[in-house]
Structure 1
Amino acid sequence: MKIEIEMKDETYEKIKNMVDWINLDNSFRGKSDTPEAKIEDFIKGAAISKLLDVETLSPLLNSREVDSLEIKNRFKDIAKEKKIKQVDICKKTGLKKANLSLIFNNEKTLRADTFFAIWLILGCPPIHECLYIKKAD
């Protein structure tokens, strides 16, 4: 199916700049086997990512037993995968190592500002990769 969309020139320029940056970054990293990114691919990818984010959180929206569900994070795995040390996250966020450890082990509930601080340091991974829903014990 083909869909046409309209957007402000300003929005188009932002997306174009991002796609140009992705292509430039790939060439600097020597990823010559990576196909050139296109604006259409970026928009499709953004839409798919948003759908996955909504699907991840939909149990909260559709559950009558919302009190029995908990939001958990995967920050520990993401940091390990990206080789970002907890001590570096602590330095950048001002969190104490013990508190970050509790957050990484899902033993402490995250405040929104703490979530976003860690999320930014981890490179803004898609929300569906950061969070999951678990039935409370």
Structure 2
Amino acid sequence: MRIEIEMKDETYEKIKNVIDWINLDNSFRGKSDTPEAKIEDFIKGAAISKLLDVESMSPLLNSKVEDGLEIKNRFKAIAKEKKIKQIDICKRTGLKKANLSLIFNNEKTLRADTFFAIWLTLGCPPIHDCLYIKKSD
């Protein structure tokens, strides 16, 4: 399977600098048997790492953690901080404004597919910044 990724030039340069550093470090340490690091491999590794983060919390999205505790989200604050308008999130995710408002105000249970759609639109912030556990009222 082939996937094309579009990224900002500055992001690409940051990744390239890391790869250059890894290759230089391996060369300096005499690790000639170590294959040269590639940008593609770094991106694959980053995707796998993020997937593991997401897999570790995904069962939490559709259920209560335990009696008296609920999973809540901070999407509204993250969107505001990133200056992403709700209407833009609706356009990218296909959510209706009313539903997004309910999710942003933690008045609607967040399904995994909805979580991922919003999470991707917000630029994949760290999971621990997106979700928290709160005692039920």
Normalised TM-score (structure 1) = 0.57
The match for 1:85 is 85
Distance 1:105 1:117 in 2: 17
Q: CA RMSD in A?
A: 3.4
> Offset at 1:23?
6.6
Q: Which amino acid aligns with 2:94?
A: G
Structure of greater relative contact order (alpha carbons < 8 Å, 6+ residues apart): 1
Give the alignment partner of residue 13 of structure 2, picking from 24, 33, 45.
Answer: 24
In 1, Cα distance between equivalents of 2:11 and 2:77: 25
Report the CA distance between 1:118 and its aligned residue. Answer: 0.2
- What's the secondary structure of 1:95's corresponding residue? coil
- Which digits, 9 at most, give the CA deviation of each residue in 1:38-72, with x for residues without a partner? 669x9xxx8xx98xx7xxx7xx8xxxx81210000
Q: Deviations over 1:50-104 (max 9, x none)?
A: 8xx7xxx7xx8xxxx8121000000001101111110000011111101100100
* TM superposition shift of 1:25: 4.5
Match of 2:30 in 1: none
In 2, Cα distance between equivalents of 1:23 and 1:107? 38
Structure 1 segments, 4+ long, off by >4 Å, are: 36-40
Cα shift at 1:22:
4.2
Any gaps of 5 or more consecutive residues in structure 1? 1-20, 28-35
Aligned counterpart, 1:134:
134
Question: 1 CA distance for matches of 2:108 and 2:117?
Answer: 16
Distance in 1 (CA, whole Å) between partners of 2:67 and 2:113 is 22
SS, match of residue 123 in structure 1: coil
* Separation in structure 2 between the aligned mates of residue 92 and residue 23 of structure 1, nearest angstrom: 24
TM-score by length of 2: 0.57
Q: 1:23–1:117: structure 2 CA closer, same or farther, 3 Å change rule?
A: closer
Q: Which residue of 2 aligns with 1:110?
A: 110
Question: Offset of 1:105 from its aligned partner?
Answer: 0.5
Percent identical pairs in the alignment equals: 78
